[in-house]
């Protein structure tokens, strides 16, 4: 089986729990460290799926790897190779498929309730209706053509979309405790005050283990549905 390509855009935003999920299912994967200057490959031919992680930059920034990443996503789509996106990754997918990425009305940082909606939600989430997801974003994506919204929150209408075999998410279901504590060290860099949509690091750490375990149950459901579309040949 060809490996899944995982794209890291920041040293603090690696594969996280997604790597654990892949190991449990004996699925091979290879990491592209975009943050070290590695560019995305020109085609998706060597991979069974593509997974794009988060990052502090904007997909609207003039960075040398963004255009190749968008082209790679479109190439995978043309060949029926599934693409998975977390936060920045979901925004890349939206833009590649014809959507736009703009400033969200508020920053969304920390744990926040999200709700599954629409007929496709049951396919991806089973009986789950709501759960606490982890968030860290100031921008949001629009739904690209032919995409279906499956998740929303009080502070961000488009939390996840599906488009055929593809899943693009604004929230971070891949988080580990180590990642949350590391990101918490950069909270002051956001220059925001605690609010209904923004938690302090202390609030994020409260009951963190319980929230992570609950979120992993949903991540397992989402990832399990996504890998059904992997190209096996």
Per-residue confidence (pLDDT) for residue 191, from 0 to 100:
87
- For the chain, domains (ranges, CATH) are 4-227 (3.40.50.880)
Which pLDDT tens digit goes with each residue over 1-58? 999 999 999 999 999 999 999 999 999 999 999 999 999 999 999 999 999 999 999 9
Read off the pTM: 0.97
Per-residue confidence (pLDDT) for residue 26, from 0 to 100:
97
Spans of the chain below 50 pLDDT: none
- Do the beta carbons of residue 141 and residue 168 sit within 8 Å? yes
Per-residue confidence (pLDDT) for residue 44, from 0 to 100:
98
């Amino acid at each position: 089986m060809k490996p899944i390509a995982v794209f890291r855009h920041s040293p603090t935003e690696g594969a996280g729990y997604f790597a654990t999920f892949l190991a449990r299912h004996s699925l091979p994967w290879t990491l592209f460290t975009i943050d070290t200057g590695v560019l995305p490959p020109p085609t998706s031919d060597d991979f069974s799926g593509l997974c794009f992680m988060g990052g502090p930059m904007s997909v609207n920034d003039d960075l040398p790897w963004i255009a190749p990443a968008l082209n790679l996503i479109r190439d995978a789509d043309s060949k029926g190779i599934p693409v998975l996106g977390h936060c920045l990754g979901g925004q890349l997918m939206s833009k590649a498929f014809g959507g736009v990425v703009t400033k969200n009305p508020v920053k969304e940082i920390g744990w926040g309730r999200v709700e599954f909606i629409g007929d496709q939600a049951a396919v991806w989430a089973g009986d789950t209706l709501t759960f606490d997801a982890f968030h860290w974003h100031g921008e949001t994506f629009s739904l690209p053509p032919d995409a279906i919204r499956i998740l929303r929150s009080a502070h961000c209408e488009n939390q996840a979309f599906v488009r055929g075999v593809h899943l693009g998410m604004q929230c971070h279901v891949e988080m580990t405790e180590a990642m949350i504590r590391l990101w918490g060290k950069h909270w002051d860099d956001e220059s925001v005050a605690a609010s209904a949509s923004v938690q302090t690091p202390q609030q994020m750490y409260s009951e963190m283990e319980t929230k992570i375990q609950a979120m992993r149950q949903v991540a397992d459901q989402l990832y399990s549905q996504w890998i059904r579309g992997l190209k096996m040949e």
